[in-house]
Structure 1
């Protein structure tokens, strides 16, 4: 399946972040030629772009190389100190924002379930604004089974939830290597997964809102880690 990045700023970010681009389709090639002359550029009209992608392209679409998923063993070969598990995130904008934030925080491994979860769609890649570069994405059949494997490799498992035994994030002394689990937008962490955590944590809220967007919450937590 072909993968595209849409929008002028997203395409420019991809170029500047050395995203492996196959070719660029644009109605305004002169604006791309100011940045790079090493990538194949095709001048096309708006109708062609509209047929190529469904996203708001703003006259710029870049086709990128296929993003490969890694196997579970990659985590242990890399001796990862922190990984992020997304428990059935479904909104592509949230996923894209999480990827961008994870990249900025220095985290490199993101795990998602194979079913009932958003994939690396064009929207996700656009929102991540190049944040997917050098990230390692891993799909698992079962988050619970994956956590069992992590435990055998001496990972600490932290879940984000408002359960009775949750601890305020500023009072947590994180142990490494660790996995942070972020729950879905509607249901949070699944009950079966919550039972497998070593510690549940939460972000205290001081205003009138009752919850944070999952991408915002992910950013706060990841930047609390060393």
Structure 2
């Protein structure tokens, strides 16, 4: 985003503030790209200095020199909060540069069984990429990476993790069973085996169910094992993205060299 002084000063005050807040949020997304970062910091500097004099003291901190994203965020977050622009989960980035090593995959699959939330799907793509999973099988009305919300939350990882769509979850399970891949289901049902007490096969698939309804009984029957995350609290459930991260951490320990 780039504005001339004439165009920016022609905006009303609310629009000027909105432009500055948008630049702040955009900077967080592109911080690792040095060229884009410098361009946007320069643009931010200009826009702040073009503000009416009565607003300048509130925003002048944004014209400082920032050595890191942490430093910038320390200055920007109070302003974003004041104008009700708090960061959302899908906005967060790692503060250090992403690893330069080649991504390694492990023979582990996820089956997403009719997940309602595109946000959760995008989050799971990020988790799958971090753990180096081989493929995600998206089933039923689970959103695919063609969905804008999935793309926004996945933050590019939807291009790094292989995925395939199935109209029916049972077809996805059958597809993997033909390859003799064991199927595990993550569900809080009586008789489920705690993941920390279970030794997985060298290759396996994990079914994650609908956020509200869980995994239906006929899909549980198709699984070779039903696993659960031991919980101590009263609320016997976790967000599906959080659950997938916990389960994958525990089940993929044997792949860590």
How high is the TM-score relative to the length of structure 1? 0.65
Out of 107, 110, 114, the position equivalent to 1:81 is: 107
Contact map agreement 2:134 2:162 (CA 8 A) in 1: yes
Contact map agreement 2:187 2:228 (CA 8 A) in 1: yes
User: Per-residue CA shift, 1:44-99, capped at 9, x if unaligned?
Assistant: xxxxxxxxxxxx9x9xxxxxxxxxxxxxxxxxxxx961100000111111111111
Out of 149, 168, 173, the position equivalent to 2:199 is: 173
For residues 56-135 of structure 1, the aligned pairs below 5 Å read 81-113=107-139, 115-120=140-145, 121-135=147-161
How many residues align? The count is 167
The match for 1:188 is 214
Q: Greater relative contact order: 1 or 2 (C-alpha under 8 angstroms, separation 6 or more)?
A: 1
The match for 2:66 is none
- Structure with larger Rg: 2
1:220 aligns with 2:238: no
The match for 1:37 is none
Change (3 A) 1:163 1:80: same
Q: Secondary structure at the match of 2:133?
A: coil
Give the number of the structure whose residues are more often helix, by fraction: 2
What's the CA shift for 1:15? 6.2
**CA distance, structure 2, for counterparts of residue 191 and residue 10 of structure 1:** 43
The match for 1:4 is none
**CA distance, structure 1, for counterparts of residue 150 and residue 159 of structure 2:** 13
The match for 2:232 is 206
**CA distance, structure 1, for counterparts of residue 111 and residue 28 of structure 2:** 25
Give the number of the structure whose residues are more often strand, by fraction: 1
Change (3 A) 1:98 1:104: same
Contact map agreement 1:87 1:184 (CA 8 A) in 2: yes
What's the CA shift for 1:149? 2.8
Q: Secondary structure at the match of 2:157?
A: coil
How high is the TM-score relative to the length of structure 2? 0.58
The match for 1:30 is 39
1:158 aligns with 2:167: no
Q: CA RMSD in A?
A: 2.9
Where does structure 1 lack aligned partners over 5 or more consecutive residues?
Answer: 1-6, 17-25, 35-55, 59-78
Out of 16, 30, 34, the position equivalent to 1:12 is: 30
Poorly superposed stretches of 4+, deviation over 4 Å: 13-16
Contact map agreement 2:116 2:142 (CA 8 A) in 1: yes
Change (3 A) 1:110 1:203: same
Q: Secondary structure at the match of 1:223?
A: helix
Q: Secondary structure at the match of 2:158?
A: coil
